Amino acid sequence: LPGNPPVQTKKALKQRFLKLLPCCRPKSIPSLSESKAVLVSATLSSPGFLADSVEDEFELSTVCHRPEGLEQLQEQTKFTRKELQVLYRGFKNECPSGIVNEENFKQIYSQFFPQGDSSTYATFLFNAFDTDHDGSVSFEDFVSGLSTILRGTIDDRLNWAFNLYDLNKDGCITKEEMLDIMKSIYDMMGKYTYPAMREEAPREHVENFFQKMDRNKDGVVTIEEFLESCQKDENIMRSMQLFDSVI
């Protein structure tokens, strides 16, 4: 949202999105079609949580955090039972304890940006997923955020993005906050890109953002200004719609 990247195909976006999300890497999360045989043979009506076998029950008994019941997560998110099972298998492969802390989150995220430093941006993203601010992201936190991003309304998705940019969670975005976000993105992309990124580019990007979003010119962007500006921007609306049917 800070800029207007070129529109990508749904397939390309899906591959990139799943790679960027910690605990949801392609090697850990097969497609729904690839998982069909596993899911059909699973005991889908088993009591408890997402366990489909004795082995799963044993693994769940050893984790630090047991997620909520499957039915409850279905009610709280817009994922189906099968989708939640597939997502949980991937999450547990990366996070056997059932939760991921900030350092682990940053470590996982850094694997996809070896040419740059993604630690600061990963911290911002971690804080957006850690909605109860307890210093960890559980499976519930993860699928709740993912459900909003992928299956939420346009307003849901824009509100989630606003929360990501509102670093101190005071209800408005300042130039300093947006500059921190932009610097973290440029750091993540690396210094050896082609064409080379200019040092003043992040600040210029922030000025463009505020020129578009700060409608009353008071130096901050409120959620109302953010929503109104984004909804009038065809490029942003098109990028929001690309998330439809990613999973």
The reply to whether 205 and 165 lie within a common domain is yes
- Name 203's Cβ contacts closer than 8 Å, sequence gap at least 6: 179, 182
184 in the same domain as 142: no
Confirm if 154 and 232 have CB atoms less than 8 A apart. no
Angle between helices 102-110 and 119-129 (to 10 degrees): 130
Picking from 103, 132, 152, the residue at the C-terminal end of a domain is 152
Q: Are residues 239 and 214 in the same domain?
A: yes
Q: How many independent structural domains does the chain possess?
A: 2
Q: And the tokens for 185?
A: 């993105």
Residues 185 and 202 in one domain: yes
Characterize 28-38 residue by residue with b for buried, 16 or more Cβ atoms within 10 angstroms of its Cβ, and e for exposed. Answer: bbeeeeebeee
Kindly state whether residues 74 and 135 are assigned to the same domain: yes
User: What pLDDT does 245 receive?
Assistant: 53
Q: In the 8-state DSSP scheme, what is residue 67?
A: P
Regarding whether 203 and 146 lie in a shared domain, the answer is: no
Predicted model pTM: 0.69
* Alpha helices in 95-222, H assignment, sequence order: 102-110, 119-129, 139-151, 154-165, 175-189, 201-213
* 144 and 167 co-located in one domain: no
> What pLDDT is recorded for position 235?
86
User: What pLDDT score was predicted for residue 208?
Assistant: 94
**In a shared domain, residues 92 and 175:** no
Q: Distance of alpha carbon 113 from its chain centroid, rounded?
A: 16
What is the separation of C-alpha 235 from the centre of its chain, rounded to a whole number of angstroms? 20
| CATH number for 78 | 1.10.238.10
The range of the structural domain enclosing residue 119 comes to 69-152
In a domain, 221, yes or no: yes
Q: Which mean pLDDT values do the consecutive 10-residue runs of the chain (247 residues) have?
A: 48 48 38 32 31 45 57 90 90 86 91 90 95 92 92 93 95 96 90 70 93 95 96 86 62
Asked if residue 11 belongs to a domain, the reply is no
d(C-alpha 101, C-alpha 181), whole Å: 21
Model pLDDT, residue 24: 40
> Which pLDDT score is estimated for 115?
86
